[in-house]
Amino acid sequence: MTVRTRFAPSPTGFLHIGGARTALYNWLYARKHGGQFILRVEDTDAARSTAESQAIILNGLRWLGLDWDEGPEVGGDHGPYYQSERSAIYESYLEKLQSADLVYEDEGALRFRVPDRDIVVKDVVCGDVSVNLKEQGSRRYDAELKKEVDANPDIVIRRPDGSFIFHFVNVVDDIEMGMTHVLRGEDHLSNTPKHMALYEAFGADVPTFAHIPLNLNPDGSKMSKRSEGANIYDYIDQGFLPSAVNNYMALLGWSSGGDREIYQSLDELVEDFDLSGVNKANSKFDIKKCIWVNAEHIKALDAPAFAEASGPFLEKAGIDTSDARVPAALELARERAEKLSEVPAVLLPIFQDDLEYDRDSVDKVVSKDGIAEVVSTLADYLEKNDDWQGDAIKASIKDAAASIGAKMGAFMLPCRVAATGSTAGADLVPMLEMIGQEKAVARVRAFAEQFLG
RNA sequence: GACCCGUUCGUCUAGCGGUCUAGGACUCCGCCCUUUCACGGCGGCAACACGGGUUCGAGUCCCGUACGGGUCGCCA
């Protein structure tokens, strides 16, 4: 039997990291087993389900590289893939239940009679979970009264207005679409017995369930829309690589069993992915480690890929990406940019006309003894350099230092701050080379004038 | 409140009865490399929630307690 998994998001105008990870696990599982990954849009809430909010999901998945074999814009033999278009199917499944006398009306809504026996969920991750719906559903907790009250254990499957409830459509769709494996968040584990009761009532095979642990905030609370790291689009905006996000998401709740931390691509993840490596316990989201993973991915990028990925960020900062110095400048940036959004800051001192001096950096340099002489000597030697490239530039700085009996080290920091505006930055000599002699000398002199005059 | 799931360094995790004086990674700190900034290398801090069993032997199995999360909707 061919493996079929799915991701069934509700278009809310937001692609949550938790949802993306669920999609990733399903995608990985399908690819690992040569199966199909299906995308189904649970757009029963018409108000929230706009074309825009659907595009957010589709584009987010595309950015991650999680392509679907069937679904919106792709089609397939099990459509339609929008729940809003599947009413006829739901009606026919409702009739099955009705003809078996498993449904009755209650204040205009329809309820499904749950069986009075233990239902065992054989979960791949959580093990066997046994629940009696009749018993468990006969009482419910009233949040306002803060106590238990009597309840009807039979579950509502259709509202008085004719619209169907999640549990019902979810099961019907999974049956109709031939899902063999359902990997979803652990928050659905307690709902699964209900789903199984429905599968059995329909006489359908129950898929293999695997409930994956949740990703929580660092303080242990549930990740909401506003939680740091929750929105996939923040990763795009901040210059994360999709491969890095996949890498980090995969490792939050799953481990290959070894020490491997870096997976350069989805293919590498597919290679190692296995449900037996999925953890049972919830995990806390750590943006710092995610950033580290991203930095590793940036370092591993080949030059053209790095240039392409950085392009939008450079343009946004006003750097002309067609400038011949850009490729070399990018190599200076890659080992110090953990996110692509940090790349422009490294290159700006090279490409920007006006320099902004970092106050702290300036203070650090200006307070040194004999700094005026250091800077003016430096400017003189840089100016009389007649071979503006790496080694020769370095020699000029060295000679400048020697001329007043100082060490080269004493000249590097002043030179860095005067020419680039900050104590922090990329390798200095290549920077000077790209800045150009004329501009570099002018900057050093301007620095002297502005802060040492 | 009932039910369900879980509990190894601050965080992500390895560990599937003896090889654990518990390994790796992130973070933090120190040292080295670098006459600059980083990268890198080396080292350090730091954990089996607690209590009972089972066993010759338990981080690993069982029970209980505590704590955390989830579900109890005519939301998905």
**For residue range A173-200, what is the model confidence (pLDDT) as tens digits?**
999 999 999 999 999 999 999 999 999 9
- Tell me the per-residue pLDDT of A98-145, one tens digit each, with 9 for 90 and over: 999 999 999 999 999 999 999 999 999 999 999 999 999 999 998 888
What ipTM does the predicted assembly reach?
0.95
pLDDT score, position A46: 63
Average pLDDT over residues A156-164: 94
| Residue in the structure block whose two tokens are 């950085």 | A310
CA atoms within 13 A on the CB side of A127: 2
**Any idea what DSSP says for residue A353?**
S
Distance, CA of A26 to C1' of B18, in Å = 38
Closest CA to A84 of A52, A45, A55, A114: A45
* Nearest nucleotide to A425, CA against C1' atoms: B37
Would you say A47 and A16 are in contact if contact means Cβ atoms under 8 Å apart?
Answer: no
Q: Is the pLDDT of residue A201 over 90?
A: yes
Q: How far is the CA of A122 from the C1' of B61 (A)?
A: 21
Q: What is the pLDDT of residue A131?
A: 93
- The CA-CA-CA angle for residues A292, A293, A294, to 5°, reads 90
Residue A49 has pLDDT above 80, yes or no: no
Question: Is the CB of A404 less than 7 A from some atom of nucleic acid strand B?
Answer: no
DSSP per-residue letters across A263-283:
--SHHHHHHH--GGGB-SS-E
pLDDT at A268: 97
> A302-337: per-residue pLDDT in tens?
999 999 999 999 999 999 999 999 999 999 999 999
**A248, amino acid identity:** Y
Is A451 a residue whose pLDDT tops 80?
A: no
pLDDT in tens, A262-272: 999 999 999 99
With CA of A106 and C1' of each nucleotide, the nearest comes out as B74
**For residues A166 and A180, is the Cβ–Cβ distance under 8 A?**
no
Q: Which of A222, A227, A266 lies closest to A243 in space, CA to CA?
A: A266
Cross-strand pairs, A103: A112
Residue A452 has pLDDT above 80, yes or no: no
User: Strand, helix or coil at A338?
Assistant: coil
Which positions 249-288 on chain A have a beta carbon less than 7 angstroms from any atom of strand B?
A: 251-255, 257-259, 261, 277, 279-284, 286, 288
Q: What is the pLDDT of residues A365-387, one digit of tens each?
A: 888 878 888 898 999 999 998 88
Gap from A60 CA to B25 C1', Å: 28
pLDDT at A44: 80
The reply to whether the CB atom of residue A218 sits less than 7 A from any atom in nucleic acid chain B is yes
Residue % of chain A over a pLDDT of 70:
99
For strand B, which residues in window 27-56 of chain A come within 7 Å by CB?
Answer: 42, 44-45
Q: Distance between CA A329 and CA A346 in Å, rounded?
A: 8
Task: Inform me whether the pLDDT recorded for A236 exceeds 70.
Answer: yes
A286 has pLDDT over 80 = yes
Coil, strand or helix at A112:
strand
Among residues A122, A225, A280, A407, the one annotated as catalytic is A225
Indicate if A225 belongs to the active site: yes
Helices A428-435 and A437-447 meet at what angle, rounded to 10? Answer: 110
Nearest nucleotide (CA of A126 to C1'): B5
pLDDT tens sequence across A82-99 = 999 999 999 999 999 999
The distance (Å) linking the CA of A330 with the C1' of B2 is 60
Tell me, in Å, how far CA of A434 is from C1' of B62? 70
Total-model pTM: 0.94
Residues 314-333 of A with CB under 7 A from strand B: none
Which residue is closest, via its CA, to the C1' of B38?
A336
pLDDT tens for each residue of A337-365: 999 999 999 999 999 888 888 888 888 88
- Please name the residues in contact with A446: beta carbons below 8 A apart, sequence gap of 6 or more: A355
Q: What burial letters (b/e) apply to A306-342, b meaning 16+ CB within 10 Å?
A: bbebbbebbeeeebeeeeebbeebbebbbebbbbbbb
Confidence of residue A1 (pLDDT cuts 50, 70, 90): confident
Q: Residue A5 CA to nucleotide B66 C1', Å?
A: 39
CA(A282)–C1'(B5) in Å? 10
DSSP state of A12: S
Query: Which strand B bases fall within 7 angstroms of a protein CB?
Result: 1-8, 10-15, 23-27, 35-39, 68-76
Contact A221, A248 (CB under 8 A): no
pLDDT of A47 reads: 64
Cβ atoms of residues A83 and A43 within 8 Å: yes
DSSP letter, residue A452: I
Is the CB of A337 within 7 Å of strand B?
no
